[in-house]
Structure 1
Amino acid sequence: MATPNDTVALNDAVTPDDTAALDGERLEAAMGHVFGELGVGCTAPLIVLGDRLGLFRALAGAGPLTSAELAARTGLVERYVREWLRGVAVAGYLEHDPAADRFTLTGEYAAVLADDEAPTSLIGVFPGFQALWADLDRVEGFFRTGGGMGWGEHHPALGRAQERFTRPAYVHGLIAEWIPAVEGIVPKLEAGAAVADLGCGHGLSSILIAERWPRSTVTGFDPDDASIAHARAAAAEAGLDGRAVFEVADAAGFPGDGYDLITFTDSLHDMGDPVAAAAHARSALAEDGVVLVVEPLAADRFADDFANPYARIGYAISTLVCTPSSLAQTGAAALGAMAGEAKLREVLAAGGLTRVRRIAQESAPVNIVLEARP
């Protein structure tokens, strides 16, 4: 049996207090890096408050404002607004005029933080952090025991954030650039095509396709009941009259065939058996049908991802959400969000989709967009 003295000795051996042996400059740099990260983490809730309370929208285009003027514009308490302004300004999101004590949201930052319709909007990402923290204890358990959790098991803030922050990319990318880059598909969509959207989540991509090409019919499939219920309600609200319908189904066994276009919009890596999903998609295609795969930007070699501006976000979300999603399903392939183009091509080829072409690279700065055919 260990004695108290044994415990002290063990702890001393494991965590010696001997920083003198460390490189001073590198230690200072490490502390500076981590301290900076603490600042980023602490600022994120202020960004969410600025969004929820309409502070960014009130600042957009208003020019320099004092805290009192911004409080009057928003109907909020000045003392809170003053502290918020200072916190967001020292974080670099606002410009500050010390002589007049006025704060300005530049047009560039407004395009990122105050306008959901802008192609540069990123504000929708921040509310999702609530889900990442809320689900952290469960993910910690998976590290110890294995297993995982589906998208529908996460805090509801995750699904809402996913729908919101992907909208600009889907409107300005998927609809305007990526689908039109698929060889021969636009004339079919304009004439009336059958589309299957696999792993559709809240149905945003399906609804946008149906709205853009009203003669086509889109069926969205997702294994999560709550997501499909949300998608059906959203389609009804959009008045699509059956042109976008939704069914609970796994990508490896969804019903129907003769689809002119099958899409995996940021979903293939979440699936338990992506090869089976690709194979089933192949079997469900029309004679000249095509599969469109949209995945996060990742290098084929991990060492090259250090130069990838998206990699930090991608690996974090993959650890906390995407890998647990796959490991909760049959197959448990755990492809991960950062699989890279070579691995994606390997998966598609194993599913019988051997003619693969990367498209829309200029309009997809943080995505890999692939056109795949048998």
Structure 2
Amino acid sequence: MTELNEGALNELVGRVLGDLGGAVSVPLVRIGDALDLYKTLKEIGPATSEKLADAAGCSPRYMREWLSAQVASGYVHYAEGRFSLTAEQAFVFAEPDSPANLIGAFDTAAAMVENQPKVQSAFKTGRGVAWSEQAGCMFCAVARLFRPGYVNALVQDWLPAMDGVVDKLRAGANVADVGCGHGLSTILMAQAFPNSQFTGYDFHAGSIAAATAHARSHGLMNLNFEVGRAQNFGGRDFDLITCFDCLHDMGDPQAAATHIRKALKADGTWMVVEPMAGDKLEDNINPIGRLYYSASTMICVPTSLAQETGLALGAQAGEKRLAEVIRSGGFTHVRRAAATPLNMVLEAT
């Protein structure tokens, strides 16, 4: 038997205990969000547990235990018998439009746990788990996970990083948002560029229904949503085609690249937003890589394997592999135009 290194063992146990603390925080954070506890605490704090319970219409005993857990996790501040949110804590938990809001990540984690039996079975068969068969409202969770990044970077940074694209959008361009999901990215662009026409495509009918309802609630007239696959969606002569965090989920992204090239005008641009990743495993051994490899195992790879050829790029494919797939469709120029800690933005022409 190999002799144990006590120091290494203690370090590993400490890491695992920290992970377990985060894991068991998932339902508590989701309760806090669903019952507006973070929002209420931000508005009335510092407050006793009784005061927060009264303001939120909740049981004082449950509130005291929930707050204690939040303090132990570092998610809520406690001093002199009162609870509050620091500016940083509010930025993460109580401000929906904050670029650091991570509530959607907790929703996604919960959906991943619920999805375990299906993915576990797929480990044995090698088959996929279709997007429409994912457990819970995976679509809602993923949409919420990516929302802060899109709200804070898409119009402000990512589109301006594309060569000449903003000028076209201001003048009036024809745009397709492929793999649009619940349509948040499409709606943000349509709001920012009223002279342009936007069409969102997604192969999941439920997501298209949600996107359509969302667009109607905003009263937008310059966009519509259609069920369509990346390999054969309708429409031609687009000035800009976008794909947000979806290329790696596709069963045949090479066929998608080929179809997208044909659907673009000769001088059109394809903007591909993908999870941030290095080209090798060694480059991705960090908190972001850990998050994305786990999500990729439970969501992205199963989704791809359930489709066509099932190329299964995974959420950590890396820029080199992504560029190869993009070029396979007939694009001759691919560059990284922008980046955030969570995403890379590629421009293809």
TM-score band, normalised by shorter chain: over 0.9
The yes-or-no answer on 1:106 pairing with 2:82 is: no
Partner-residue secondary structure (3-state), 1:196: strand
* Whole-angstrom CA distance in 1 between matches of 2:8 and 2:287: 24
What aligned pairs does 1:225-304 form with structure 2 within 5 A after superposition?
225-241=205-221, 243-304=222-283
Amino acid at match of 1:212: A
Partner-residue secondary structure (3-state), 1:49: helix
For structure 1, the 5+ residue unaligned runs are 1-17
The yes-or-no answer on 1:58 pairing with 2:40 is: yes
* Whole-angstrom CA distance in 1 between matches of 2:32 and 2:139: 20
Q: TM-score scaled by structure 2?
A: 0.96
What is the aligned counterpart of 1:215 among 162, 187, 195? Answer: 195
The yes-or-no answer on 1:126 pairing with 2:106 is: yes
* Whole-angstrom CA distance in 2 between matches of 1:159 and 1:205: 14
Partner-residue secondary structure (3-state), 1:314: helix
Partner-residue secondary structure (3-state), 2:265: strand
Q: Which residue of 2 aligns with 1:193?
A: 173
Q: Percent identity?
A: 46
Q: Shift of the alpha carbon at 1:182?
A: 0.6
What aligned pairs does 1:306-321 form with structure 2 within 5 A after superposition?
306=285, 308-321=286-299
* Whole-angstrom CA distance in 1 between matches of 2:189 and 2:74: 37
What aligned pairs does 1:18-57 form with structure 2 within 5 A after superposition?
21-57=3-39
Partner-residue secondary structure (3-state), 2:137: helix
What are the superposed Cα offsets for residues 338-357 of structure 1, whole Å, 9 maximum, x if unpaired?
A: 00011111111111112012
Amino acid at match of 1:172: N
The yes-or-no answer on 1:368 pairing with 2:314 is: no
Runs of 4+ in structure 1 displaced over 3 angstroms? none
Amino acid at match of 1:317: A
For structure 2, the 5+ residue unaligned runs are none
Q: Shift of the alpha carbon at 1:29?
A: 2.0
* Whole-angstrom CA distance in 1 between matches of 2:312 and 2:255: 13
* Whole-angstrom CA distance in 2 between matches of 1:312 and 1:61: 34
* Whole-angstrom CA distance in 2 between matches of 1:346 and 1:316: 24
Q: Shift of the alpha carbon at 1:61?
A: 4.9
Amino acid at match of 2:39: R
What is the aligned counterpart of 1:135 among 115, 133, 141? Answer: 115
**Greater CA radius of gyration, 1 or 2?**
1
* Whole-angstrom CA distance in 1 between matches of 2:191 and 2:130: 29
Q: Shift of the alpha carbon at 1:216?
A: 1.0
Q: CA contact under 8 A between 2:174 and 2:240: conserved in structure 1?
A: yes
Amino acid at match of 2:15: H
* Whole-angstrom CA distance in 1 between matches of 2:191 and 2:132: 26
Partner-residue secondary structure (3-state), 1:60: helix
* Whole-angstrom CA distance in 1 between matches of 2:66 and 2:306: 40
Q: Shift of the alpha carbon at 1:309?
A: 3.5
